[in-house]
Amino acid sequence: MTRGIKAAPVWLAGAAAIISLAATLIFWWSPAIAAEAGSTATALSSGAIQWGFIAAALATGLSSLGAGFAVASVGSAAIGAMAEKPELLGRALIMVGLAEGIAIYGLIISILILNRIL
């Protein structure tokens, strides 16, 4: 019987990153599209600001949740691998660091959203 790393947390984190990126692009491009259409969109409506706060919260929360699941599965597999071959420490740290980077990407997206709406 073989045990592998479950891919569901990684897919969850990837989906959260894509949703966050889509929300950021919508908020980033909507004033530019409105300006090209000839209307004067200088300030966002209160509804857009509320959705921006929700998008920023979801970007941070879901990416952190996905990163937590990814670090848990990759970290446990890395500990198991290092128990058998201690020279895998560097590779294990790189894999855990890549999984943790997902949360940092979500935080960056949230900062971009908040800078755009405030």
Give the residue carrying structure tokens 């980033």.
Answer: 28
- Going from N- to C-terminal start, the domains of the chain cover 49-118
Give the residue carrying structure tokens 């692009």.
Answer: 25
Q: What is the mean pLDDT of residues 79-87?
A: 92
Taking only the tens place, the pLDDT of each residue in 21-47 is 676 667 666 665 555 555 544 577 878
Write down the pLDDT at residue 40: 47
Write down the pLDDT at residue 19: 73
Q: Whats the size of the chain, residue-wise?
A: 118
8 Å CB contact between 19 and 58: yes
Helix or strand run (H / E) with residue 23: helix 8-36
When pLDDT is cut at 50, 70 and 90, the band that residue 110 belongs to is very high
Write down the pLDDT at residue 1: 46
Taking only the tens place, the pLDDT of each residue in 4-27 is 555 556 666 667 667 766 766 676
Domain 49-118 has CATH 1.20.20.10: yes
Cβ neighbours of residue 65 closer than 8 Å, sequence gap 6 or more:
12, 13, 16
pTM comes to 0.62
Residue among 60, 58, 62, 88 at smallest CA distance from 74: 88
What's the whole-number average pLDDT of the chain?
A: 79
Residue among 58, 98, 53, 56 at smallest CA distance from 75: 98
